[in-house]
Amino acid sequence: MTTLNRQLRLKARPEQLVGPEHFDLVQSPVPELAEGQALVRVLYLSMDPTNRVWMSDVPQYMPPVAIGQTMRGLGLGRVVASRSAHFAEGDLVQGLVGWQDYAVIDDKRAKDWVKLPPHPPVALPTLLGACGFSGLTAYYGLTDIAPVQAGETLVVSAAAGSVGSIAGQIGKLRGARVVGIAGGADKCRHLVEDLGFDVAVDYKAEDFKKKLAEATPDGVHVNFENVGGAVMRAVMSRMVNDGRVALCGLIANYAASGRPSDDYSVIIVKRLTVRGFLVFDYRDAEKGVRELTQWVLQGRIKAGETVTEGLENAPKVLNRLFDGSTVGKLVLKVGDE
Amino acid sequence: MTTLNRQLRLKARPEQLVGPEHFDLVQSPVPELAEGQALVRVLYLSMDPTNRVWMSDVPQYMPPVAIGQTMRGLGLGRVVASRSAHFAEGDLVQGLVGWQDYAVIDDKRAKDWVKLPPHPPVALPTLLGACGFSGLTAYYGLTDIAPVQAGETLVVSAAAGSVGSIAGQIGKLRGARVVGIAGGADKCRHLVEDLGFDVAVDYKAEDFKKKLAEATPDGVHVNFENVGGAVMRAVMSRMVNDGRVALCGLIANYAASGRPSDDYSVIIVKRLTVRGFLVFDYRDAEKGVRELTQWVLQGRIKAGETVTEGLENAPKVLNRLFDGSTVGKLVLKVGDE
């Protein structure tokens, strides 16, 4: 029996939000494996803001996805057939599987894939969230890029999201006063009551700036920035002199049309150090994964995922990153474990 | 005989360029000195982009000048009368003398003033330029904020200006390949032929971006940024990964109306470190002044000033910072030495 593979191929570049109209759902037989190849059944796709950036023809850290190409995406899956020297049937692997049911992986690019333990100590979606790249982004942002010290005030934007929720909890583990910014009363309650943030501020509230000022009476020493735009400007205006910014993301810009309008002048006025970073640069992330996994197993960090289903829903589901309707890591289930 | 003092007092906040209409020229007798005070005859005013910023009611590192207040400005002068314990008649002092003929200085704020050597080894305008805050800005920017290494490519914008011209020359002393950006063929020739820059690129030329790319075949390791806006975006697009930006000024924004439109995304994409700084934070600048003065006396750094005359011309002269009609440090002569 021929195994069929479904692929979401980029048909048109979205201007703002993403829809099915930007993709072709193409079905074709899984290719014959060549020597040195393995076939991976994709189980979970990580839904990330960077997916949206990859759809746009703007300067970025990887080439944009070409029209007609299967959408690039991080995920994990299980090897179901193998002619490979590196990957055996049953292996669990993580990498750029793409928005499809099956991925063919190649020994020549073995280093692009992370082999996961066969029986992971945490749920598979958590391997894409708190114990995966989302958690690692928070981890390296606050230990290497803008290390936060005990007693300092850390502000985290998009704090209910996959990276922000972990960043805030790491801030608490390091002894900082942690202020989270999120949209709506429910998320703010979640940050304080479930995740242990000191204060949460609702950026949708009319008195957001006033509330942010009240929440940061000593100013902001470290800004873990995920959002950009008006939220970022509000936080930057609260920075102490010589403050530090871990510039992780600018999600407010990603699905917006037109050029983002930011302002560098505050960096001079407050003598800030702003460092941009990409988690993929931390090749040897074992220490980070180990520490995060321990924290999750010890209950010191709460992992949270929003899992939805169906490859065909990927374009619509991705928008949940931009409309604020998700808490924790957003994961799409593509196949049964 | 009563000594009269002329003061330029801010009357209205300029939107874009500065004109006499934004100031009242007020004449009044010099006040009687109290115990602990000295009277300074202002000799030279430093014309700086920051003057323009101080006129605007925007967030900045000092309060904006209030309407009705004498315009704040850096300069140097000689003590002509003294009831002070710190300042004797004949002393040469540098500090925020203001846009006026005479300044009263006070022992209680003695630390705000720098006493200059009675017989400086360089011309007085140079004490405001290469051997003063302009030179120090270049010096600390390239030694402390974004130290440039031998063999690296340094780009300096506003390179024919007071800070940029020194920054480029310091870059050469440190063994970097130095690319200057300036407006017009004359300035570009000056940078290469007189100041020893490796290449100069004219930002007014139609093929500016192409020329900048050709001038930076290995990318840009350090950007000494003075300009902002389109020039900055062009340089940022040439940065190498993990490049460093000394964010010194954003002169393109200062006399523009409306909110500046910058873009932080390149900081992430290229994993840059961007550090804002203010030379005034380097309180103990003796080493810098000594080194700069030696370099100037040895001819290893060429100091250049454009000196014009007349306190009453200050508003118009300041605009020369924004219309590109000046080379080197812009100094206004207010009194005879």
Residues of chain B with pLDDT under 70: 1, 257-261
The sign of the CA dihedral A248, A252, A256, A262 is negative
- B274 and A260 within 8 Å at the Cβ level: the answer is no
**In angstroms, what separates the C-alpha of A253 from chain B's closest C-alpha?**
9
Closest Cβ–Cβ partner in A250, A270, A277 for B264: A250
Residue B257 confidence (pLDDT): 63
Q: Are strands B114-116 and B329-333 parallel, antiparallel or unpaired?
A: unpaired
Residues 6+ positions from B104 with CB-CB distance below 8 Å:
B30, B31, B33, B37, B38, B39, B40
- Please name each of the domains of chain A with its CATH number: 4-124+304-333 (3.90.180.10), 133-280 (3.40.50.720)
**Residue B206 in contact with partner chain A when CB distance is under 8 A:** no
Amino acid code (one letter) for B302: K
Amino acid code (one letter) for A255: A
Task: Give, for A314, the enclosing helix (H) or strand (E).
Answer: helix A314-318
Whether the per-residue pLDDT at A283 is higher than 80: the answer is: no
- A275 and B271 within 8 Å at the Cβ level: the answer is yes
Residue A336 confidence (pLDDT): 92
C-alpha to C-alpha distances, A187 to A173, A209, A326, B270, nearest whole angstrom: 21, 18, 9, 32
Residue B263 confidence (pLDDT): 77
Residue B292 confidence (pLDDT): 92
Please write the tens of the pLDDT for every residue from A78-123: 999 999 999 999 999 999 999 999 999 999 999 999 999 888 999 9
Q: Which of B242, B42, B251, B21 is nearest to A278 (CA)?
A: B242
Give the whole-angstrom CA distance, residue A191 versus residue A212: 15
Whether the per-residue pLDDT at A1 is higher than 70: the answer is: no
Residue A259 confidence (pLDDT): 55
**Residue B60 in contact with partner chain A when CB distance is under 8 A:** yes
Other Cβ atoms closer than 10 A to B309: 12
Please write the tens of the pLDDT for every residue from A30-43: 999 999 999 999 99
Residue A166 confidence (pLDDT): 97
Whether the per-residue pLDDT at A302 is higher than 70: the answer is: yes
Q: Which of B173, B178, B170 is nearest to B152 (CA)?
A: B178
Please write the tens of the pLDDT for every residue from A187-233: 999 999 999 999 999 999 999 999 999 999 999 999 999 999 899 99
Q: Which of B59, B58, B54 is nearest to B69 (CA)?
A: B54
**Residue A164 in contact with partner chain B when CB distance is under 8 A:** no
State CA A149 to chain mean position distance.
24
C-alpha to C-alpha distances, A170 to A112, A203, A227, B317, nearest whole angstrom: 28, 22, 19, 53
When pLDDT is averaged across residues A49-63 and rounded to a whole number, the result is 90
Q: Which residues of B touch A250 (CB under 8 A)?
A: 264-265, 268
Give the whole-angstrom CA distance, residue B185 versus residue A161: 52
Q: Which of B221, B218, B217 is nearest to B156 (CA)?
A: B221
State CA B325 to chain mean position distance.
15
Residue B286 confidence (pLDDT): 82
- Say if CB B268 and CB A277 are below 8 A apart: yes
Tell me the pTM: 0.90
């796709």: which residue's tokens? A45
- A248 and B268 within 8 Å at the Cβ level: the answer is yes
- Say if CB A152 and CB A221 are below 8 A apart: yes
Q: Which of A201, A251, A255, A256 is nearest to A228 (CA)?
A: A251
Closest Cβ–Cβ partner in A59, A267, A277 for B274: A267
Both structure tokens of B242: 């993990």
**In angstroms, what separates the C-alpha of B117 from chain A's closest C-alpha?**
31
Whether the per-residue pLDDT at A282 is higher than 90: the answer is: no
Residues of A (277-336) whose Cβ lies below 8 Å from B = 277-278, 281
